[in-house]
Structure 1
Amino acid sequence: MNSNRRVFLFVVYAVSAYLFFSLVSYAFGLHWRPFDRVNLIADVVTGDSTFLADGPGSDTTGGSQPIIIEERPQQDFLLYHTPHYITGFQTDTSLASLPHLMAKLYALKNGQQQKIRIAYFGDSMIENDLLTQTFRKRLQEYFGGQGVGFVNINFVGHKLRQTIEHDYSNGWKDDNLRNASDKSTLYLSGHRFTTSGDWVSVTDKTITDSTYVTEKILLCGKTEAPVTIRVNGQPVSINADKSFNRIVLASDISRKLRLDVDDSRLPLYGVSFEPLSGVIVDNFSFRGSRGDEYKSLDSNFLQTIAQENPYDLIIFQYGVNVLFRANDKNFTWYARMLMPVVERFRSSFPKADFLITGTADRAFRYPDGYATAVGIDTLLKIQATTAYETGSYFYNLYSTMGGKNSIVDWANRKPSLANKDYVHPNHQGAEILGNWFFEDLLREFEKYSRRQQKGDTPK
């Protein structure tokens, strides 16, 4: 066989195999990000507004119904387009969304002492407390409370975070959503830390009252026997007998906490600075995440977190990492992957309201210059439908930013509100988003308050 024929057959076999795996990945919803970028049929199979996808595949949450996303002309569903609006897709828009959260905020505002916890999940859009630091500050100023909430043992860009002073030694082992062989008991941050001789120091910079008492709390996993660590130089015995443990280390006016750990049996998740009563907003950012990575967390572990450290509102803000190719319009694979994650969190935290924040605007370079990703409307519809199908709430961040080409406008303003990557709002832009989100949530609270004051409580 001459060399030309061998080359020809090699190309034919390689392309045939490549096409086969492309078809299989599309048919069964299998995704590996490097392969997704070069899938042979990705630009041939375009997304449309109607599809019937298989169920959640390998997910073990018990979900068995197929995921259906179709044209929904109902006026209540179309509310997802509305900027500056948190919708539960209810026909009566005078009813407040997030009723569980609103009831607790109403009680807190009227003098009832309690903690209200909000978990805000996202990618690099909220890294280093962007957006959440403003949202937290406004909530605490209006409803009460001080304290930065959750802080990871270490994280990318920790020196850039404005709400804390954070330092640590370099020997910590970080198991996370990217590298861990066992992801079942990673924390909501996507991390789990161990060490046999390292330290971490955190100072909360959000506290404005020097006499304000906060609880300093250790969040950790299970050990078979008590472990001794040093807290601000003093030995403390940690009895961590549950899969997730919340251990109060101090309740005082100090803003600083230092931990020295020399026993690798103790899995650590982080620390939390919390008011005795008031609002807590935890930032759970994980760079590059699409949200579907949390499918690996064990349901029983999540339920233990819900018992020990309950949340009243859980927010998922993802999307820009789903839009990783300029011409993608088909995101049915993402619907199949996101739905079981939302269902798992909804079942594990049954008392919490759940809010899906639709993707922010992001732009790519097209022949006529930078412009909004062509598939963004399709992705937003999928995210809204996921909220609709799971009984969750929805907030359209894209529309709130200004819609088409808003990220381009933000980046080109003087002074700018976004970076020239046309993906990430900068500190000024994130502050605007945080203020808007608080004000939009406050409108729902005012709806709830008016009904309570009238004695008109919806059934």
Structure 2
Amino acid sequence: MSGENKSAYPFYIIVGSLVCLVILSQLNFSLSFKDFQFRRLDMLSELRSSNPEKKELTAGKNSSKLSHSDTAAAATGNTPASTVVNPDVSYDFMAYKGILNYPTPGEGSVDNAGISRFLTALKELKAGKRKKVRIAYFGDSMIEGDLITSDLRDSLQTFFGGAGVGFVPITSVVASYRTTITHTFSGNWKDYHYKNSPPANISLGLSGHTFYPGGDSWIKYTPVKKPRLDKFDEISVLYGPSEAGTININDKAYTLSGNAPVNRLDLRQDTGAPSLTIKYGGGPTVPFYGVCFETERGVYVDNFSFRGISGVELGHLSADMVRRMQQERPYDLIVLHYGANVLFRPELTDYSWYERPMKKVVDSLRRDLPGTSFLIVGTADKSYKKGDRYITAPGVEALLKVQHDLASEYGTAYWNLYAAMGGQGSMVKWVEGDTVLANKDYTHLNRQGASKVGALLYKAIMNDYRHGE
């Protein structure tokens, strides 16, 4: 022993320790002590590209996992670049925070996949090749009062141009809550809608409402003191079939005519009249849908919120009305954002009862709006109390799968709001965090949370937009 070189001992200890660590790192198990956890060692991790734009999203056929870089992007909160997906490959849509663009079945080309046509329209607008781009954003109480859509609209108009709040219904149960326009009206409008079984001869408007005036019905719209919302410019009154009905707009008489399911009266706001007051002038009764506020150029986001619905109600819309609306006020993107009212039983995980009618809705809308891009927004997280704490409802991920399958089957885009919020348990964090982003019902966002979601969706859209530049 006296002949040994003891100076080599530290070297042996270091080498032995490294060998043990490498062996442990290659074992496929999880062992944790407080906040420490063993994980597989990747000796070449620093040499690999971490840029998600250069990584392929796909894995093997029937895989449910993203590539390494996109999984990392989902974990860190980074939104990956545009992804046109291979229909023969499955993806970990439950964790992916970007927009998945599915090609239309049978077309064979990815040029029109997901929101591709919408992105082309935005590029044409930016290049001065077209005047307007419109988005119809359908949803439930998650977007009422112009929540989410107001921030999305403001961001898009800041970058692409435009001013104005877009479509506003004749009356609204949340008019006093909305901050993007001041909206008052008389109480004698008759509102036919999804939930009060309108007569068969009444066609509902795109918002799910049709309004009939009483003898002296009126509405008043006033701009608010916010950028791009502080004055009216181009105004359009949307109404149904009319045989010479009359209205007075700021005390000027107009005759309404037209037998189409949707007709439009266009006017410019007088510079000396900051508000717009419309009074029913008598004559044949006219069905009204709403009033639109725009400028000559830019992006416009119409909020079509309806409290308490699941989205299947859109199947009650007349195909003739939808097609005519597209002629009078064409949309480049349709957003379908539902889920809160589908999750009425938090532990329910079978949503086949919902999938079947929603397939008909998506199918009919795609048929009636050819050439329009569609985006399905996966439901937000929803928590319920189990025992002494709130947890994510089991039905959330089951519903997300149904919504994703609709997108992949019908060739629309898909954006997982649940993943964008943070995934499992995120609603609890949004309610109970230092910055409160959601209400105590653990379902609905507050204004600050809605603003964040609007910003997240805008970022996801712009990632796709810039990826194609």
TM-score (norm 1): 0.78
Match of 1:321 in 2: 341
Q: What residue identity is the alignment partner of 1:133?
A: S
On the 8 A contact 2:262/2:324 being kept in 1, the answer is yes
On the 8 A contact 2:114/2:375 being kept in 1, the answer is no
Instruction: Return the offset for 1:92.
Output: 12
Please tell me whether residue 138 in structure 1 is matched to residue 155 in structure 2: yes
Match of 2:100 in 1: 87
Q: Please, which runs of 5 or more residues in structure 1 have no aligned partner?
A: 1-70, 450-459
Instruction: Return the offset for 1:207.
Output: 6.0
Please tell me whether residue 199 in structure 1 is matched to residue 195 in structure 2: no
Q: Among the aligned pairs, what percent are the same residue?
A: 38
- C-alpha change, 1:397 and 1:296, in structure 2 (3 Å) is same
Spell out the pairing of 1:167-186 with structure 2 (5 A cutoff): 167-182=184-199, 185-186=203-204
Question: 2: CA distance between counterparts of 1:80 and 1:205?
Answer: 40
On the 8 A contact 2:223/2:230 being kept in 1, the answer is no
Match of 2:38 in 1: none
Match of 1:103 in 2: 120
Query: Alignment partner for residue 379 of structure 2, among 356, 359, 365?
Result: 359
Query: Alignment partner for residue 289 of structure 2, among 269, 272, 282?
Result: 269
On the 8 A contact 2:407/2:414 being kept in 1, the answer is yes
Query: Alignment partner for residue 267 of structure 2, among 236, 239, 249?
Result: 249
- C-alpha change, 1:345 and 1:391, in structure 2 (3 Å) is same
On the 8 A contact 2:102/2:412 being kept in 1, the answer is no
Instruction: Return the offset for 1:87.
Output: 0.9
Instruction: Return the offset for 1:208.
Output: 3.0
On the 8 A contact 2:333/2:375 being kept in 1, the answer is yes
Match of 1:227 in 2: 245
Match of 1:343 in 2: 363
- C-alpha change, 1:422 and 1:334, in structure 2 (3 Å) is same
Match of 2:227 in 1: 208
Question: 1: CA distance between counterparts of 2:410 and 2:230?
Answer: 44
On the 8 A contact 1:120/1:281 being kept in 2, the answer is yes
Query: Alignment partner for residue 117 of structure 1, among 104, 109, 134?
Result: 134
Question: 1: CA distance between counterparts of 2:375 and 2:405?
Answer: 12
Question: 2: CA distance between counterparts of 1:378 and 1:341?
Answer: 20
Match of 1:297 in 2: 317
- C-alpha change, 1:172 and 1:446, in structure 2 (3 Å) is same
TM-score (norm 2): 0.76
Instruction: Return the offset for 1:73.
Output: 3.5
- C-alpha change, 1:406 and 1:209, in structure 2 (3 Å) is closer
Instruction: Return the offset for 1:414.
Output: 2.5
Instruction: Return the offset for 1:179.
Output: 0.5
Structure 1 stretch displaced more, 71-80 or 277-286:
71-80
Q: 1:284 aligns to what SS in structure 2? A: strand
Q: Please, which runs of 5 or more residues in structure 2 have no aligned partner?
A: 1-60, 66-84
Deviations 1:58-112 (A, max 9, x none): xxxxxxxxxxxxx954764415334431111469999985111111111111123
Match of 2:465 in 1: 445
Structure 1 stretch displaced more, 394-403 or 295-304:
295-304
- C-alpha change, 1:248 and 1:95, in structure 2 (3 Å) is closer
Question: 1: CA distance between counterparts of 2:94 and 2:109?
Answer: 16
- C-alpha change, 1:300 and 1:94, in structure 2 (3 Å) is closer
Question: 2: CA distance between counterparts of 1:92 and 1:377?
Answer: 30
Deviations 1:235-294 (A, max 9, x none): 111113211112213255555211101446100011010111110100000001100011
Spell out the pairing of 1:401-416 with structure 2 (5 A cutoff): 401-416=421-436
Structure 1 stretch displaced more, 258-267 or 163-172:
258-267
On the 8 A contact 1:195/1:262 being kept in 2, the answer is no
Q: 1:300 aligns to what SS in structure 2? A: helix
Spell out the pairing of 1:5-154 with structure 2 (5 A cutoff): 73=63, 76=85, 77-89=90-102, 97-154=114-171
Spell out the pairing of 1:409-448 with structure 2 (5 A cutoff): 409-448=429-468
Query: Alignment partner for residue 351 of structure 2, among 305, 323, 331?
Result: 331
Please tell me whether residue 189 in structure 1 is matched to residue 207 in structure 2: yes
Deviations 1:416-452 (A, max 9, x none): 1100000011000000100111111001110122xxx
Match of 2:27 in 1: none
On the 8 A contact 1:135/1:434 being kept in 2, the answer is yes
Structure 1 stretch displaced more, 360-369 or 330-339:
360-369
Please tell me whether residue 236 in structure 1 is matched to residue 254 in structure 2: yes
Instruction: Return the offset for 1:295.
Output: 0.8
What is the root-mean-square deviation in Å for CA atoms of aligned residues? 2.4
Match of 1:166 in 2: 183
On the 8 A contact 2:157/2:299 being kept in 1, the answer is yes
Instruction: Return the offset for 1:370.
Output: 1.1
Deviations 1:207-228 (A, max 9, x none): 63699772111011112x2111
Decide which structure has the larger Cα Rg and report it.
2
Deviations 1:170-195 (A, max 9, x none): 10100000003347621121100001
Deviations 1:14-65 (A, max 9, x none): xxxxxxxxxxxxxxxxxxxxxxxxxxxxxxxxxxxxxxxxxxxxxxxxxxxx
Q: 2:335 aligns to what SS in structure 1? A: strand
Instruction: Return the offset for 1:163.
Output: 0.2
Q: What residue identity is the alignment partner of 1:239?
A: S
Q: Which has the higher contact order (CA 8 A, sep 6+)?
A: 1
Q: What residue identity is the alignment partner of 1:443?
A: N
Match of 1:28 in 2: none
Question: 2: CA distance between counterparts of 1:106 and 1:245?
Answer: 29
